Copies of this chain bind each other. A is one copy, B any other.
Amino acid sequence: MPHQKLIERLLAVSRLSKSEQNALVGLPYAVRNLADGDIVVHQGDRSSCCTVLMSGFLSRQRVISERNQISAFYVPGDIPDLHSLHVPIIDHDLCSTGPSTIATVSHVALRQLLRDFPALTYALWGETVIQAAIYRNWVENLGARAALPRVAHLLCELATRLQQVGLASGGRMNLPFTQGDLADACGLSTVHINRTIQELRRRRLIDWQSQTLELLERVELEFIAEFNQDYLLGRPSLAQH
């Protein structure tokens, strides 16, 4: 399987031996470049391979009540359709937000790998556990937070995930999202997202221009968002106590 970012992520979450890492690296894969808006997998497709995001961003989206709802963003190192190994019918569009690069690995090859290295099964299960925790936090975000803390929470999450794979330092990151994308993810209208972002700017909490987002007052922002990064760390045990 490709790419150091995935290995980085998995190592952050699980302990993998050198041979397991090598087996991952040795997986056959195909690389594909995507442009903004390209759809990787369509809703209804039957999938026979998994996708590893190598660079850029993907989003999972589906039209609900005539509204395009984004239910997940993916950053490099993520495997957005890992679940297709269990449930091959895809029920969302997976699409590139900004240009991106992906690698695809066939289910067949992946299953063989997991048979040979059971610890990898466990490690990938751990990936699913973290993805579930992210969804859970989105549920809370959409269910309980007003617009400002809701947007703040999403930005904190993205910043932390990008940091984990070395794509954000000092709170600065490249983010090719439009305000419409944010609106679709936060369950708000573009108009209201616009006003919310302006408010975040006015309070000097963020700086966002020409696809570069900078979190200016990280502590204050995380306070407003009630953000706690523990759910993104596979091993909070190391961060605690």
Q: Which of A111-157 contact B (CB under 8 A)?
A: 114-115, 118, 121-122, 124-126, 128-133, 135-136, 138-146, 149
Chain B residues with CB under 8 Å of A149's CB are 65
Asked if A49 is an interface residue, CB under 8 A from chain B, the answer is no
Chain B residues with CB under 8 Å of A91's CB are 228, 230-231
Chain B residues with CB under 8 Å of A231's CB are 91
Q: 23 A-B residue contacts at CB 8 Å?
A: A65-B144, A65-B145, A65-B146, A67-B143, A67-B144, A69-B139, A69-B140, A69-B144, A71-B143, A83-B133, A87-B133, A87-B234, A87-B235, A91-B228, A125-B125, A125-B128, A132-B132, A135-B135, A139-B139, A142-B142, A143-B186, A143-B187, A144-B187
- Distance of A45 from chain B, by nearest CB (Å): 12
Chain B residues with CB under 8 Å of A226's CB are 64-65
Asked if A62 is an interface residue, CB under 8 A from chain B, the answer is yes
Given A64-B226, A143-B69, A144-B67, are A87 and B129 neighbors across the interface (CB < 8 Å)? yes
| Residue contact B140 to A143, C-beta cutoff 8 Å | no
| Residue contact B86 to A126, C-beta cutoff 8 Å | yes
Residue of B nearest to A46 (CB): B237
Given A71-B140, A89-B230, A230-B91, are A129 and B236 neighbors across the interface (CB < 8 Å)? no
Chain B residues with CB under 8 Å of A92's CB are 136
How many of A's residues come within 8 Å of B, CB to CB? 54
What residues make up the interface of A, taking CB atoms closer than 8 Å to B?
A: 13, 60, 62, 64-65, 67, 69, 71-72, 83, 86-89, 91-92, 114-115, 118, 121-122, 124-126, 128-133, 135-136, 138-146, 149, 185-187, 226, 228, 230-231, 234-237, 240
User: So how many copies of this chain end up in the complex?
Assistant: 2
| Residue contact B132 to A71, C-beta cutoff 8 Å | no
Given A125-B124, A140-B64, A143-B142, are A89 and B240 neighbors across the interface (CB < 8 Å)? yes
| Residue contact A136 to B135, C-beta cutoff 8 Å | yes
Q: Tell which of A69, A140, A228 has the most Cβ of chain B within 10 Å.
A: A140
In the bound complex, CA of A88 to CA of B69 (Å): 32
